[in-house]
Amino acid sequence: MRALKKIFKRIFITIILIPAICFGIFAYSIYVEPNLLSVKNIEINNSSNIKNEDTIKIAQISDIHLGEYYAIDKLEKLVNKVNSQNADIIVFTGDLFDNVSKFEDTSKVAPILKKLNANIGKYAIYGNHDYGGGAKNIYKNVMEDSGFKILVNEQANVKLDSGKTMSILGLDDALLGNPDVEKTARNIKGSNYNLLLLHEPDLSDKFVSYNIDLILAGHSHGGQVKIPFLGEIVTPPLAEKYKDGLYNLNTKRNTQLYVNSGIGNTKVPFRFMNVPEVSIFEIKA
């Protein structure tokens, strides 16, 4: 009889405990983790084209997805976090809005993003959500009013303290835009430090024959939800090979790729084991 009581007790505890754990994970993934914001620091020293006096700090933000799951009042927190890093360059790798046709506060976005401070400049590219639902011109106006230079299959050059040049290249979105790899890479110089901005990370393989030092991408959200020991449940098209974090592409140039896990959510409100991030790169000799 005593043994039977122990069995029933264990069954009862299990029946109570498992749903409680599941509810806790469910609540955490909706109400806690999406509201966290981490800073990931990555040191990059893979190029001889950066001199000691040229050490430069780049802040990457990606996939904000303003809308149902990321309210505009969170932008102030993001801006303050980025500004606290005192970056030389700020880059945005796409997807500002989730569904712009359902977002009523577009006029409030630029005044907030304009507060982002970069010692050298701010650069952006289009993501697929920056085209969908009539977002193209709204995104363009918001980003330009915020002080960002939008790169569409083109490059911008920045002079460094040593006299060397950093080239920042931006490819148009591959899903809804008109990406042109050859046009984007046309004016690459091997003597420059070459930074490439992509939205979809799997397009990195199209640039392995070019003199690219660092590629920054987004789009994947790092899978948005990860399962212990299994990793990402699902990643979107063109983010299936390179999902999150730092990759070495094994090129003659020692190209490195970093896939940012993003700020906001899309389709579902969940984030689990995948805290929203601001990526800070210190480019050194």
d(CA 83, CA 203): 30
Has residue 285 got a pLDDT over 90?
no
**96 vs 18, which has greater pLDDT?**
96
Q: Give per-residue pLDDT as tens, 225-272.
A: 988 878 887 889 999 999 999 999 999 999 999 999 999 999 999 899
Ranges of beta strands (E only) in the chain are: 38-44, 56-61, 89-92, 121-124, 149-150, 154-159, 165-170, 193-197, 214-217, 226-227, 231-232, 245-248, 256-259, 277-283
Mean of the pLDDT values across residues 143-158? Answer: 98
Q: What is the pLDDT at residue 9?
A: 62
Domains and CATH numbers, the chain: 36-283 (3.60.21)
Ranges of beta strands (E only) in 135-210 are: 149-150, 154-159, 165-170, 193-197
Which residue reads 């040049």 in tokens?
A: 165
Helix (H) or strand (E) holding 181: helix 181-185
Q: What is the pLDDT at residue 173?
A: 98
Q: Give per-residue pLDDT as tens, 154-170.
A: 999 999 988 899 999 99
State the SS3 of 213-247: CEEEECCCHHHCEEECCCEECCCCCCCCCCCCEEE
Structure tokens at 84: 């606290």
Q: What is the pLDDT at residue 18?
A: 80
Which residue reads 């002080």 in tokens?
A: 147
Residue 39: how many other CB atoms lie within 10 Å:
13
Residues contacting 235, CB < 8 A, separation 6+: 220, 221, 223, 243
Q: 29: helix, coil or strand?
A: helix
Torsion, Cα 179 181 187 191, to 10 degrees, reads 130
pLDDT level of residue 137 (50, 70, 90 thresholds): very high
Residues contacting 233, CB < 8 A, separation 6+: 223, 225, 226, 227
Q: Give per-residue pLDDT as tens, 33-72.
A: 999 999 999 999 888 888 888 889 999 999 999 999 999 9
Mean of the pLDDT values across residues 212-221? Answer: 98
d(CA 11, CA 9): 5
Q: What is the pLDDT at residue 67?
A: 94
Nearest to 82 by CA among 243, 263, 207: 263
Q: What is the pLDDT at residue 20?
A: 80
Q: Give per-residue pLDDT as tens, 159-208.
A: 998 889 999 999 999 999 999 999 999 999 999 999 999 999 999 999 99
Q: Give per-residue pLDDT as tens, 97-123.
A: 999 999 988 999 999 999 999 999 999
**Dihedral sign of CA atoms 20, 22, 24, 26 in order:** negative
**24 vs 177, which has greater pLDDT?**
177
163: left (phi over 0), alpha (psi -120 to 50) or beta: left
Q: What is the pLDDT at residue 17?
A: 76
